[in-house]
Amino acid sequence: MLHIGVGSKNPAKIEAVRSAFAEMGFEAEVIGLDVESQVSEQPFSDEETIQGAINRANNVMFAEKESHFFDYCIGLEGGVIESPFGMFLCNWGVVVDKEGNVGIGGGLRVQLPEEIANHLRMGKELGDIIDDFTGKHNVKKKEGTIGILTNQLITRKDMFRDVTISAFARFLNPQLYEEN
Ligand SMILES: O=P(O)(O)OP(=O)(O)OP(=O)(O)OC[C@H]1O[C@@H](n2cnc3c(O)ncnc32)[C@H](O)[C@@H]1O
Ligand SMILES: [Mg+2]
């Protein structure tokens, strides 16, 4: 049985990790901890979003350092990127193990409607904007912006499940990632 720590209390993220490990064929206990991402509430680049995911994963590992409870700690972070083609949602995941090995995987990119992008440029958080936009509550803990924009064909949980599996590739195939 694997013990997995996730750096968030967001059920969309925790459920995503559960389904990723089930899909990879592991029996796993997945626990969410509230930790800091140490980046902006709304990351605005791939780099900042990856850094947020790294910090979350490390902070979960650090929180449990004494007990060595977790085999793997996972950080999942959502952000946006500006590009010459408009603004896109981006998502990143990071897995760290007890030895300090790090696996990183990224998720789908979805073009954001210009009205939503403009609110983001004015400094609002996507979680709040999408709730206003849809008249729903806590979209970020449910289908997510990606679920709204794809008519639920791809939900935030689905997307983070794939991100988790991608970030775990390094641990599925450690021999391919050996550096020498
Ligand atoms: O509790 P945490 O783990 O922080 O979960 P979160 O939903 O806030 O998720 P992130 O901090 O990773 O996301 C950064 C910001 O982007 C928002 N966001 C990112 N992806 C989203 C999505 O698919 N749907 C709604 N909001 C999203 C989110 O609400 C935050 O304002
Ligand atoms: Mg957040």
pLDDT of res. 180:
62
Mutate to test the pocket of ligand 1, among 14, 90, 126 (most ligand atoms within 8 A of CB): 126
In a domain, 138, yes or no: no
Ligand 1 pocket check for 159: Cβ under 6 Å: no
Q: For the stretch 91-126, what's the b/e string if a residue is b when 16 or more beta carbons lie within 10 angstroms of its beta carbon?
A: bbbbbbbeeeeebbbbbeebebeeebbebbeeeeeb
In a domain, 43, yes or no: yes
Question: Given CA atoms 164, 167, 168, 173 in this order, what sign does their dihedral have?
Answer: positive
In a domain, 122, yes or no: no
In a domain, 11, yes or no: yes
- Is-contact 106 166, C-beta < 8 A? yes
The CATH number that applies at residue 6 is 3.90.950.10
Domain count, the chain: 1
pLDDT of res. 118:
97
Task: Give mean pLDDT, residues 6-20.
Answer: 98
Tens digit of pLDDT for each residue in 135-171? Answer: 999 999 999 999 999 999 999 999 999 999 999 999 9
In a domain, 130, yes or no: no
What ligand has the least distance to the C-alpha of 9? 1
Percentage of the chain with pLDDT > 70?
A: 99
CA of 29 to the centre of ligand 1 (A): 23
- Is-contact 76 6, C-beta < 8 A? yes
pTM score: 0.95
In a domain, 126, yes or no: no
- Is-contact 33 60, C-beta < 8 A? yes
In a domain, 68, yes or no: yes
In a domain, 137, yes or no: no
User: Rg of the chain over CA atoms, in angstroms?
Assistant: 16
CA of 9 to the centre of ligand 2 (A): 10
Which ipTM score applies to this complex? 0.92
**Structural domain boundaries enclosing 18:** 2-109+155-177
Nearest to 14 by CA among 4, 1, 27, 24: 4
Tens digit of pLDDT for each residue in 53-80? Answer: 999 999 999 988 777 799 999 999 999 9
The mean pLDDT of the chain is 96
pLDDT of res. 65:
75
What ligand has the least distance to the C-alpha of 11? 1
- Residue with token string 């709204």: 148
